Amino acid sequence: MSVRKRSLLKVIVLGDSGVGKTSLMNQYVHKKFNQQYKATIGADFVTKEIQIEDRLVTLQIWDTAGQERFQSLGVAFYRGADCCVLVYDVNVLKSFDTLDNWHDEFLKQANVSDPQTFPFILLGNKVDIDGGNSRVVSQKKAKEWCASRGNIPYFETSAKEDINVDTAFICVAKTALANE
Ligand code: GTP
Ligand code: MG
């Protein structure tokens, strides 16, 4: 299909330190995974072009720091966002419990026109660990949270094994486009 329209979409990735935000982005954009943890400082973006129906979409994906002491740049980066990707680690309860906080802070700081309809996506990452045996947050619980927040799409991912990473970002693009 020929490309008729172009869109630039600004996507912000948020979540606790260590949940795998940088890894998910690296897997999606560069098809690479690094076992070694290196904390993100401040925020930076990468871009990826994908075609969605007759549209050429440039995803501008902003990776942010989960560690509080590196978060100071936050606010300015949220402005003009088209979609917010929230990430938690299915093996770490605290990273799930802080989702409310990330969600509400984002809406407060991004100053979006309609908080009720703003596109979020939730990713439960690291489903590969221990073959799923060390999971502490059930799929049911995650889906309930998504329902309570206005039917946020939910994916279980592994940046390491490349599970659902493409699918999740295609959903990001489609959801953001639908809200344009
Ligand atoms: P901050 O930059 O501090 O906010 O952390 P982050 O959310 O960017 O986490 P990062 O991507 O740096 O990953 C943290 C650690 O978890 C690294 O050692 C990664 O290799 C590892 N990791 C990330 N995703 C996965 C995954 O899907 N499975 C497994 N087994 N390990 C992962
Ligand atoms: Mg990072």
Tell whether ligand 1 has an atom less than 6 A from the beta carbon of residue 32: no
The region of weakest confidence among 61-70, 97-106, 127-136 is 61-70
User: What spatial distance separates the first Cα and last Cα of the chain, rounded to whole Å?
Assistant: 22
Residue 146 has pLDDT above 60, yes or no: yes
Q: Mind listing the pLDDT tens digit for each residue in 127-142?
A: 999 999 999 999 999 9
CA of 159 to the centre of ligand 1 (A): 8
Hey, what amino acid is at 128? D
Q: What pLDDT is recorded for position 180? A: 81
Tell whether ligand 1 has an atom less than 6 A from the beta carbon of residue 135: no
Q: What pLDDT is recorded for position 4? A: 76
Q: What pLDDT is recorded for position 111? A: 86
Tell whether ligand 1 has an atom less than 6 A from the beta carbon of residue 132: no
Q: What pLDDT is recorded for position 43? A: 79
Tell whether ligand 1 has an atom less than 6 A from the beta carbon of residue 75: no
User: Global pTM?
Assistant: 0.96
The residue whose CA is least distant from atom 13 of ligand 1 is 20
Test site for ligand 1: of 12, 22, 30, 69, most ligand atoms within 8 A of the Cβ: 22
Tokens representing residue 20 in the block: 């795998």
Q: Mind listing the pLDDT tens digit for each residue in 13-23?
A: 999 999 999 99
DSSP the chain: ----EEEEEEEEEE-STTSSHHHHHHHHHH----SS-----SEEEEEEEEEETTEEEEEEEEEE--SGGGGGGHHHHHTT-SEEEEEEETT-HHHHHTHHHHHHHHHHHHT-S-TTT--EEEEEE-TTGGGGTT--S-HHHHHHHHHHTT---EEE-BTTTTBSHHHHHHHHHHHHHHT-
Mean pLDDT of the chain: 93
Test site for ligand 1: of 19, 22, 23, most ligand atoms within 8 A of the Cβ: 23
d(CA 9, CA 121): 14
Residue 92 has pLDDT above 70, yes or no: yes
